[in-house]
Chains A and B, each alone.
Chain A
Amino acid sequence: DIVLTQSPATLSLSPGERATLSCRASRSVSSYLAWYQQKPGLAPRLLIYDASNRATGIPARFSGSGSGTDFTLTITRLEPEDFAVYYCQQRGNWPLTFGGGTKVEIK
């Protein structure tokens, strides 16, 4: 199985700052990677798919990049509603797998 390793586990930032989250795959998944946001008590929400495509309704401050084994989710200026847990997921190899998550918390 493809193992997705997310770092850091926790990111402490202030509103308005830039957030950079990493997801590393144990072997290449091409561009078949997505990012999700999950707030407490709610279901995850798809943010980015195919490494860099924003899902419907996702603000432009969210962007994704990378291919192969190294991927990045960037939030250019953190809004109060962006503090949440972020997961990456791959479909490049069977079975579908998720990373362990990065919590973006208010500093």
Chain B
Amino acid sequence: EVQLVESGGGLVQPGRSLRLSCSASGFSFDDHDMHWVRQPPGKGLEWVSGISWGGGSIGYADSVKGRFTISRDNAKKSLYLQMNSLTTEDTALYYCAKDMGGYSYGFSWFDSWGQGTLVTVSS
């Protein structure tokens, strides 16, 4: 059974940093691209960032580009999101999601999700 467990969320002041982690199990982690997707309270979904299985291809939403950095450690079966210069607009539940894969190029669909970790940016 695929399991994705996020951690690292919390209350942080504007301008500060936070690092999220996602621990994966139940599948071949190093065979799959991985993503972060966020959801502000009471609102819709926003793709934040994705990383290919080997880390060679990375993408970011414009809203976080230059502030957030995605990374992965395949030996530890873990995904990370370093978030710097946080603003109140970054307040959201952050989900770790597994890419379904199976395409010759690019990121695709999110076929497994964690339960999310809440990031609240407030003074």
Residues of A within 8 A of B (CB): 1, 34, 36, 38, 43-46, 49, 55-56, 87, 89, 91, 94-101
Contacts known (A49-B100, A95-B61); A100 close to B44, Cβ less than 8 A: yes
Once the chains bind, are B44 and A91 in contact (CB under 8 Å)? no
Interface residues on B, range: 20 to 34
* Cα distance A67–B113 in the bound complex, in angstroms: 26
Quote the shortest CB–CB distance from B49 to chain A (angstroms).
9
Residues of B within 8 A of A (CB): 44-47, 50, 59-62, 95, 100, 106-111, 113-116
Q: How many A-B residue pairs have CB under 8 A?
A: 55
Once the chains bind, are A96 and B50 in contact (CB under 8 Å)? yes
* Cα distance A32–B45 in the bound complex, in angstroms: 18
The answer, among B100, B106, B108, B116, for a CB contact under 8 Å with A43, is B116
Considering the complex of A and B, which 5 residue pairs feature the smallest CB-CB distances, nearest first?
A: A43-B113, A96-B47, A98-B45, A49-B109, A34-B109
Once the chains bind, are A97 and B47 in contact (CB under 8 Å)? yes
The answer, among B46, B106, B113, B116, for a CB contact under 8 Å with A91, is B106
* Cα distance A96–B47 in the bound complex, in angstroms: 6
Quote the shortest CB–CB distance from B36 to chain A (angstroms).
11
Once the chains bind, are B45 and A87 in contact (CB under 8 Å)? yes
10 A-B Cβ contacts within 8 A? A44-B45, A49-B100, A56-B111, A87-B44, A91-B109, A94-B59, A94-B106, A95-B61, A96-B59, A98-B45
Residues from chain B with Cβ under 8 Å of A87 in the complex: 44-45
Residue from the set A87, A89, A94, A96 with the largest chain B CB neighbour count within 10 Å: A96
Once the chains bind, are A101 and B59 in contact (CB under 8 Å)? no
Once the chains bind, are A46 and B61 in contact (CB under 8 Å)? no
Contacts known (A49-B100, A91-B106); A98 close to B44, Cβ less than 8 A: yes
Once the chains bind, are B107 and A91 in contact (CB under 8 Å)? yes
